[in-house]
Structure 1
């Protein structure tokens, strides 16, 4: 579970990461490279290459969730180009983690609002050894393959769903009329000046 530190007046997001959707024989004792939105390829791939150079290391897992899914795929592609010690066998799976976003109360003494959502989470297992024939799936490939765009639609669809969720929450909490056009600053300034200029006229008429 990942939870950033935050004060009571800030929005807090807690992410409960799902388990890697691979058989235990591939996950037990296997190092995982955690790819985040702002991670640097050089640092992650430096660690991964160092691990995979060891004779005792037969496999490694790359993982990214939410907006980091696409970056995770790119990171693996960069790693495969840099790894020159032999062919790698790849197994890619998509799962979903759970995120809870807590918004602070809008008024003092009010209740906080919690919103739960799912986050697409991509797991990419790279192995020096071929996977058993009994486990073969369409989501497996080798390091010679370059087409890893099968999951772009999943990521984009989830981003749109999250955007719609956030927009719906803002409308409920802020009572925003989506059909009402916002007044431009120039019009606001003109309306304020007009109101001030009409005020003395109204007072003069009352006096007469």
Structure 2
């Protein structure tokens, strides 16, 4: 079961004071978010440089939050990840019945911590850094269909690439 957390608390305890917090919303531009975080990870001065960033998103912003994290993990090597999924409380005025009635909604939300420093591997939601791709291939897949790939042509014929 997922926990329900109020807006003023967060599910990841013990964050360092200079942790960058990025709140991702449905209308956020991924390029802008990643530009800010990448610049802070590669900061030119020690007081501007960060070692941890927390991405948060709720409702329809969850997918964009995860997309930001996955892109950043591929561009900055050696990032440890800690993910927490929970419900956020939100109050909504009832439109149907009496106007003074307030309904409490539970909105799904996610917090994802990315850290250059090691995190507790026993913590639920921990993911170790991804291994680098082999040097021989340059990390890229070969162009074209895979060796066992079959393609259906417009005339109904099956073309095989073995």
Q: TM-score range by the shorter chain?
A: 0.5 to 0.7
Matched length: 122
- Quick one: which of 19, 28, 40 aligns to 1:39? 28
**Is the CA contact (8 Å cut-off) linking 1:30 and 1:60 kept in structure 2?**
yes
Q: Is residue 2:77 matched to residue 1:89?
A: no
Alpha-carbon shift at residue 103 of structure 1 (Å): 4.0
Alignment-derived partner of residue 30 in structure 1? 19
Alignment-derived partner of residue 59 in structure 2? 66
Gapped regions of structure 2 (runs ≥ 5)? 1-5, 132-162
The DSSP-based 3-state class of the residue aligned with 2:93 is strand
Matches within 5 A, 1:31-180: 31-54=20-43, 55=46, 56-83=49-76, 86-103=77-94, 111-132=99-120, 136-144=122-130
CA displacement, residues 40-69 of structure 1 (integer Å, 9 cap, x when unaligned): 100111111111113541111000012211
Alpha-carbon shift at residue 104 of structure 1 (Å): 5.2
TM-score, normalization by structure 1: 0.52
Q: Is residue 2:7 matched to residue 1:17?
A: yes
Name the structure with the higher helix share: 1
What's the Cα RMSD here?
Answer: 2.3
Alpha-carbon shift at residue 114 of structure 1 (Å): 2.1
Alpha-carbon shift at residue 144 of structure 1 (Å): 1.2
Alignment-derived partner of residue 200 in structure 1? none
The DSSP-based 3-state class of the residue aligned with 1:87 is coil
TM-score, normalization by structure 2: 0.65
